[in-house]
Amino acid sequence: MRIEQDDSFSDGGYVRLIVPGAADQASGRLRVVIRRFSASQNCLGRGGWQSSDCVLRPRRIEIEDQDLVMILGPEIVDPIEAYTPVAVQIPLLGLEERMRWPDVRPSQDYEATAVVDEEDETDVPIRGGTVPPDQGQDTGTTDRSSEGDVSIPQEQGVDENDRNEDKIEEERSGIKAVSISKGEVRPLKENNKYKIKYVYYALLLTLIVLIMFLLYWFLARGDSVPTPSSEASSSPISEPVTPTPAPAPPSAPTLEQRHQAARDEMAGHNYDGAVPHLRTLVDEGYAPAALDLARYYQARDPGEALALIKTACAAGVPEAPAALADIKAALEARRDQGDEEAKWALKTGFDEARAACRL
């Protein structure tokens, strides 16, 4: 005997138990017993390995040339780990062989207890070859009440092998199959493993979201409730205060005020500050400043002093003629002492200044 993966089932979980040269012994009543070499729980059964003996029913029997092939389903394949030393028996044929279970692909999603039924004594469907009825192939019309089984009448024109093959195809495509036992049609147990897992994940996610919401709510509520210290330190609400209008910017000083400031600087001998201010006032047409500026230039620049006196007289400054007389006397004294600059000023600028002052 040998065991190999049945690749016709894409989801895995099926193997082919091949008995060479035993095609003529094919029977729908063939069963398999699998034991492992262990002190306890050494026989494969409904819930996996168990202590009591258990006869396993193959899914289908096939005849390939002279070989007998038994198709074993996930309820047998999945519980056995690869390379486990086992003894495989076919009691009806009197065969037993020890081997290591091959490394086959288990089913992707299958409940191992869904099909195994020690009390299911219905014939296993046989496909391929020609098997006479006396070999155990159920025709659907034989009454086996003496054996404890109740056969299910077949529909007219429908072969039992075709019916069982359709059931296998339904299992391959994931359609809910039925198991025939003692004349009853019983639905197989549905696999709820993934459903339970999805429900668990959904509940866990809901719990996490609820915890996050409560945490956010408590934090937000804590921020909005004022503490006693903050209430005590907060100042009472005061009545609105009408803002005081901003004071008007100071008005620009008048020409007279600027002139007086320049004269004060001149009296304090701050000539660097006074002279530019007086010159600015003269340029702006304020003639009294020309009189003070002429007195400053009298000893420094006689010609400039006479020109400033002329400006003051032309503007009608009352003190200008007297100032011109003082400047003339000072220039004449310097001229008599041989001062050429004073002599030149009297010769070129005095007459124009005198005419302006009407002297």
Q: What is the pLDDT of residues 236-278, one digit of tens each?
A: 555 666 777 777 677 888 888 888 888 898 888 888 888 998 8
Cα(200)–Cα(193) distance, rounded to whole angstroms? 11
Q: Using one digit for the tens of pLDDT, what is the confidence trace for 61-99?
A: 999 999 999 999 999 999 999 999 999 999 999 999 999
pLDDT of residue 92: 92
- State yes or no: pLDDT of 174 exceeds 80: no
Cα(59)–Cα(187) distance, rounded to whole angstroms? 16
Identity at 94, one-letter amino acid code: G
Q: Using one digit for the tens of pLDDT, what is the confidence trace for 311-320?
A: 888 888 888 8
Identity at 281, one-letter amino acid code: L
CATH of domain 255-357: 1.25.40
- State yes or no: pLDDT of 182 exceeds 90: no
Find tokens 């009189």 and name the residue: 291
Lowest mean pLDDT among 36-40, 268-272, 279-283: 36-40
pLDDT of residue 48: 85
Q: How far apart are the first and last CA of the chain?
A: 158
pLDDT of residue 86: 92
Return the percentage of the chain with pLDDT > 70, whole number: 72
pLDDT, average across residues 197-216: 90
What is 2-132's CATH topology?
Answer: Immunoglobulin-like (2.60.40)
Long-range contacts of 346-352 (CB under 8 A, 24+ apart): 346/302, 348/303, 349/302, 349/303, 349/306, 349/307, 349/310, 350/306, 352/306, 352/310
Could you tell me which residues come within 8 angstroms of residue 63 by beta carbon, excluding any fewer than 6 positions away?
Answer: 23, 26, 69, 126, 127, 128, 129, 131
Cα(303)–Cα(277) distance, rounded to whole angstroms? 20
Token pair belonging to 115: 């099909």
Token pair belonging to 120: 């299911």
Burial 72-102 (b: 16+ CB within 10 A, else e): bbbbbbbbbeeebebebbbeeeeeeeeeebe
pLDDT, average across residues 152-169: 47
Q: Using one digit for the tens of pLDDT, what is the confidence trace for 103-130?
A: 999 887 655 444 454 556 788 888 876 5
Tell me the average pLDDT of the chain: 76
Give the DSSP H/E element, type plus range, for residue 209. Answer: helix 193-224
Top-confidence residue, 256 or 163? 256
Quickly state the pLDDT bin for 57 (edges 50, 70, 90): very high
